[in-house]
Chain A
Amino acid sequence: MDVASLLPGLALVPAGAAVALIVLSRRRPPLRETWSVLAAVAQTAVVAAMVPRVSEGARLTWEGPALVTGIPLLLRADALGVLFATLASGLWLLTTVYSIGYVRALDEPRQTRYFACFALCLFATVGLALAGNLLTFFAFFEILTVAAYPLVIHKGSEEAFRAGRIYLLYTLTGGTALLGAVVWTAALAGTLEFRAGGILPADAVPAALWGLFGLFVVGCGVKAAIVPLHTWLPLAMIAPTPVSALLHAVAVVKAGVFGMVRVVGFVFGPELLGDMGAASVLTGLALATILLASLAAAAQDNLKRLLAFSTISQLSYIVLGVTLGTQTAFAGSVLHIASHALLKITLFFCAGAIYVTAHVEHVRDMGGIGWRMPWTMGAFAAAAFMLAGMPPGAGFVSKWRLIEGAAQGGAWLAVAVLLAGVVLNVAYFTPVIVRAFAAPASPGTAEAPAALLVPLLLTAAGGLLLGLVPDGLLPVLSLALEVARSVSGP
């Protein structure tokens, strides 16, 4: 049931205020960093405060002023939204700590812009996570697009600008398609509010539904890096690693995938999509992405690009799960949002730590690094195998459900691809780990600094914890099951 609450609206405040405060304290780095950390803590606290009641089945609603005539800024914390919001906020906190260590170690320029844009990104992310109608979602989605741009081009080099240009081209095109989809939905459905099971009338003109579906796939698919809309992501790895870590493993791409889940579960409804046959189309795209991206990852030498392709592949696991039409698969998808976020961010943190301490970017230069930086590489190896699906990691919990759900739905091709995916996953990570530990330890740098090491150990531990006790710190499993149950109808 819906409960009016101030909390969703309150969740926007820390990040929003932080943007202004960070800009104002541009001459005092310590103050700047403090605001970032404080905001992250505050946002996590507010969002976490919503979890208990939402797990019981309530939806905390906050209605803001009207955005356009008849459509308000609506924040409605339901299971899916609160899960994503808590995830993003908690990881923001860890990434902020990591960022501080990272930019200090590299003495990066333009730190005010960096931290301010980070805060703005998280403002947008929590906004779209908690959005209760498509217009609110769209507004924050676009703000996220724009806010992430200065982070992508942070380095200021010709290559960074090129990556930024392509990023904008793709995401703004996607945004345009999404806008068309949102307006069209308003006309077709008469409302823009998300409702579990869908809001579109099943008796609408099929051409219209397919057109709408296409627009939504393009709109969310760019950020969700579905092939062939994925090109921007590997290029965007030119950004500093904390940016890649949070934004490209958690915020920006997860927003895309979250959008897909919302569209499939709460705008169309799995039933309608299945009846239309559109579910199969999306399944096909997801399967293709999983395979192609995994293969591409195996061919990469640049560690971050490898991780980027891995992300592309893993995101499509999430997309796949919601199209299979079974509750188990849907739950698996939602779970994978969390598992992938934790584990991928660990991997990126490790990559960044390696870059900062050993100035190594390519796998070929990583010989022996495992012995010099045992904790870092240990976490990397653990996270990599957990992501591939090795029990008792978080990846196993989500992927098992995906495979089980696919089998339940009779989607044997999907089962095959999922299993193949696991194999490929291991295949593209193993060379990295082997290289890191195979060669003997060469003299040189030591372990990564604490500011970088602690976050990555924490996220790795989180990934393990999520696998062992899925409802431990945060009732992730319960929330995921709740979401799946709600979209499948009574």
Chain B
Amino acid sequence: MRAHLPILPVLFTLVGALLIPIVALASRRAAGPVAAGAAVAAAIAALAGAAEVAGGGVRRYAVGGWPAPWGIELVLDPLSAFTSAAIACVAAVSLAGAGPGARAAFERTTPRFYALALVVVTGLLGITGSGDLFNVFVFLEIAAIASYALVASGAAPALAAGFRYLVLGTVGASFYLIGVGLLYALTGTLNMGDLAARVPAVAGSPLFAGGVAFIVVGLAIKMALFPLHGWLPDAYTHAPPPVAALLPAVATKAPAYALARTLLYVLRPDELPVATTLAWAGGAAVVVGGLFALRQTDARRLLAYSSVSQMGYIVLGLGLANAPALTGAYLHLLNHAVMKSSLFMAVGALLLSARGPSLAALAEVAPRPLIGACMVVAALSMVGVPPAGGFFSKWYLLQGAIEAGQPVLAAAILLGSLLAAVYMYRLTEAVWLSPAAAAGAARRREAPAVVLAALLVLALATLGVGVANELIVDRLLAPAAAAAAR
């Protein structure tokens, strides 16, 4: 079993996705538990994988027994294990708490939601476990196609948003493919390890620059890096609530991982201004995303722009590329996934009884203290107040910015925190504190227990990651960052 750890997470979710339509023939209500079960199994496998390579080990897995570099290789190293575990765990919690929202949004077609959601998670876990560039493309598209369908499964406006997402996402994946093709033409290999060995010989070639450029732009579109983020606000705003609790948290993390992996561990284009561009694009994303979020009155769109801003932090860290910055970027992958899932889930729970998605409408619903408390924890993490996890990723990023001698980027990080404070305050105030919320007490409806449980788990995870961040950094992220620096 231990030898198969690299492939287990993907296997569990894939089998789960295939099982659900079959199970649903017998009982529609069984779809949820099966999905949650598969996701939890994947999460456990991913965590086991992380424990396996904690401290700097590497496990390689040749699919089908075909050895690398001819066969497809899966690689489990600290970074990939960390990201897989992060995505799998957040997805598991999200799916576990999706029941009431899914039944409300999809009614008779709920099993399809679960099946597609598991396909998305399969794709994402496939990306994070992959040791081969083309394999990344395949899983990227697996996840993407399922997410196009999921996004578009909402009310009428979701269709247009979904179509736009589809077009832009396909363009992104296609650019990535072109880049891979150029690199293949140049070096003759698709295997990451093999490519890393061959790159120094060809690094001066314009084909190499072209390949790098296409890959970076393609992945940037996929993870909604400003200014290529056009598909995200509409998609996350109109996606049905159970989808919104999952996708924004995890869907952009895997492309970010892919970018980190290809850029910092495989291609290492030191002569090209890629790192600088990414760092500044990230900084711009942080500030612009935050500014846009400030102006929103629709709670979901506010969170969507917030996602653009938070992804900026990750790219900023990747661009700075020194050890603390990378540590911060990787830690933020986890922190943001947890925060965003929590926030979208809370808003989704409120939408069950609100008359609309605007802040004013949500204020009338007056949630129970528990939802509000979980939102506050997520907000504190977003702003960067210890001991919530978000503080620590910001700390490392700041350290990295100062170490790299970039005061403007450090200022951008701090400004982003401030903007986050303002828009998160507006959200929490509207939802929990305002006089309107108190007045609307009559409209209160108990949030479903399973949703509350999921929210609690995420809130505790936010605090837990913060408190235990040193452990995570020491065992997983520091080795990962060190491997990039070499």
Contacts and interface: CB of A to CB of B under 8 A. Distances in A.
A63 B418 CA distance: 31
B418 A176 contact: yes
Nearest to A177: B414
Nearest to A178: B414
B386 A176 contact: no
A68 B433 contact: no
B421 interface: yes
A176 B385 contact: no
Interface residues of B, number: 36
Contacts of A65: 467, 470
Interface in A185-242: 186-187
A165 B425 contact: yes
Contact of B399 (A161, A165, A175, A183): A183
Interface centre among B394, B399, B403, B478 (most CB of A within 10 A): B399
B385 A68 contact: no
B438 interface: yes
Interface string A230-270: 00000000000000000000000000000000000000000
A139 B386 contact: yes
A146 B398 contact: no
Given A68-B396, A180-B398, A161 B383 contact: no
Contact of B380 (A69, A146, A156, A158): A146
Interface string B386-398: 1100011011101
Given A142-B386, A161-B435, A187-B403, A66 B470 contact: yes
A69 B479 CA distance: 13
B194 interface: no
A172 B418 contact: yes
B433 A184 contact: no
A446 B280 CA distance: 68
B384 to A, nearest CB: 7
A172 B395 contact: no
Given A156-B435, A187-B403, A146 B473 contact: no
A426 interface: no
Interface centre among B402, B403, B478 (most CB of A within 10 A): B402
A410 to B, nearest CB: 37
A180 B438 contact: no
A148 to B, nearest CB: 13
B358 interface: no
B429 interface: yes
B418 A68 contact: no
Nearest to A175: B385
A186 B399 contact: yes
A169 B433 CA distance: 16
Contact of A68 (B395, B411, B438): B395
Interface string A114-157: 00000000000000000000000011001101100000010011
Contacts of B417: 176, 179
B474 interface: yes
Contacts of A176: 414-415, 417-418, 421
Interface in A70-117: none
B469 interface: yes
B410 interface: yes
A145 B386 CA distance: 11
Contacts of B415: 176
A7 interface: no
Nearest to B468: A65
Given A139-B386, A168-B425, A179-B417, 7 more contacts: A67-B386, A68-B396, A139-B391, A145-B385, A176-B415, A179-B395, A187-B402
29 contacts: A65-B467, A68-B395, A68-B470, A68-B473, A69-B474, A143-B385, A143-B386, A156-B438, A157-B435, A158-B435, A161-B429, A161-B433, A165-B425, A165-B429, A168-B425, A172-B418, A172-B421, A173-B418, A175-B385, A176-B415, A176-B421, A179-B394, A179-B395, A179-B414, A180-B410, A180-B414, A183-B395, A183-B402, A187-B399
